[in-house]
Every structure is written in structure tokens, then in C-alpha cells.
Chain A
Amino acid sequence: EAGVAQSPRYKIIEKRQSVAFWCNPISGHATLYWYQQILGQGPKLLIQFQNNGVVDDSQLPKDRFSAERLKGVDSTLKIQPAKLEDSAVYLCASSQLQGMSSYEQYFGPGTRLTVT
């Protein structure tokens, strides 16, 4: 089975510019996650979708970050405008859904963002 796909793999932008990341989850996975991983730290959940609805976005900086999941499949994460502290790897993950809980998450390769 194909894994979680992300693009681009690398992006360098200047502060105050905007950027968008794309994620295609594993087919049939109802739950999709976006994480931010700063160098040397564990992943931090930004937003969690179940099908095309948001179930948690409490740690998403909503003044500059936005995310959507159209038709419950692909998702995009946007940053506008970017700040230096947004430099990180952005990981997308997906999981199956069983009842109210999700199974283990499968992670994509990530997008490494550098803001200069």
C-alpha cells in the first residue's frame, strides 16, 4: 500500500512570505494530522481532521496558520505570513478509525521549512 505523500520536501522562504504544504494520506484513512517538529523536539500536533471535519486545532496559531481537508482526502496547510520561528519540519500523518479512537499513525516524509 502506498504511504503518506507530502510535497514539497524542502522549502526556503523569507519571513512575511506565505507557503503551502500538501498531504495525501493513505487511502481509506479517515483521520489526518499535521504536526510541527522543531529540531531536537518531539512533534507537536497542529490540527487533527476526522474525514473533513476538524476535531482538534487547539495548538494551531490561527492568526497565521490555516488548514483544510477537502472531500475528506487530501489536505493543505498554509502559513501566511511566515515568521523565523516557523522553521521546522511539517509532518503529515494518517490513521484508520475504529469507533471513537484512531489506530497508529503513519507518517509522511515531512516538509522541511526554512524561514530566513
Chain B
Amino acid sequence: ELKVEQNPLFLSMQEGKNYTIYCNYSTTSDRLYWYRQDPGKSLESLFVLLSNGAVKQEGRLMASLDTKARLSTLHITAAVHDLSATYFCAVEGTGGFKTIFGAGTRLFVKA
């Protein structure tokens, strides 16, 4: 059974600092997604990672995937207040079925 664990679940950081969110999953997967959710809003797609060693960057966020370790990271560089949100990783099972979401990391960036 596919399980997805994120850590930390809560992160409070100062503006300008760097930090990494981790996403571990339990079985072979076709692809991994990162989403952002603002309070009271729906989910917004950030990254889709398709293969081992994949790295994608958008602004201050960079995501990577290690399929052998079954680990993805979301790295935040020089955080700004606008990045405050909940970040979810989601793992798609083989064959394109049953996407499982992690519990989310609630990020708060203090000015």
C-alpha cells in the first residue's frame, strides 16, 4: 500500500532563510507532484517530477526526486512572506492510479 509522509508538518522561518521540506513514499511510483494551498483556497500545482534525478525550479522553490530513495525534497531559498502556505506532495501509484497526498507542511514565513 502506497503511503506518503511529509516532514516537517509545521515550519516557522524567518525571511531570508533557507529550508527543505521532505517527502518520503513507500512503494514504486510513476510520478510525484508538489502543490501549494493558501488558507481557504484550492490547490495550485507547483511541480511535476517524472524521473529519477529530476530537478525543477520556479523562483525561490526547487524540487527534486530520488526514486531509489523514494524521496522528494522541496527547497526554499531566501524565504519571503508570500511563500507562507501549506505545501503538499502527492505520489501517483503505478499505472496512473490512486494519487496519495501527504499530510502537508504548513509554512509560515515571518517578516
Contacts and interface: CB of A to CB of B under 8 A. Distances in A.
Interface of A: 31, 33, 35, 41-45, 48, 55-56, 58, 91, 93, 97, 100-110
Interface string B67-111: 000000000000000000000101010011111111110000000
Contacts of B100: 45
Interface stretch (B12-20, B41-49, B57-65): B41-49
Interface residues of B, number: 23
B83 to A, nearest CB: 19
Main secondary structure of the interface of A (DSSP, over half): strand
A108 B42 contact: yes
Contact of A43 (B30, B48, B97, B101): B101
Contacts of B96: 31, 55, 97, 100-102
A100 B42 contact: no
Most A C-beta atoms less than 10 A away, residue of B35, B97, B101: B97
B98 A58 contact: yes
Nearest to A6: B42
B98 A41 contact: no
Contact of B33 (A33, A56, A58, A104): A104
Contacts of B102: 42
Nearest to A101: B96
Contact of B97 (A42, A44, A55, A108): A55
Contact of A103 (B43, B44, B48, B88): B48
Given A104-B33, A105-B33, A106-B45, A48 B92 contact: no
Contact of A45 (B33, B43, B98): B98
24 contacts: A41-B103, A42-B101, A42-B102, A42-B104, A43-B43, A45-B99, A45-B100, A45-B101, A55-B97, A56-B98, A58-B98, A91-B43, A93-B43, A100-B95, A100-B96, A101-B92, A101-B96, A102-B92, A102-B96, A105-B99, A107-B44, A108-B42, A109-B41, A109-B42
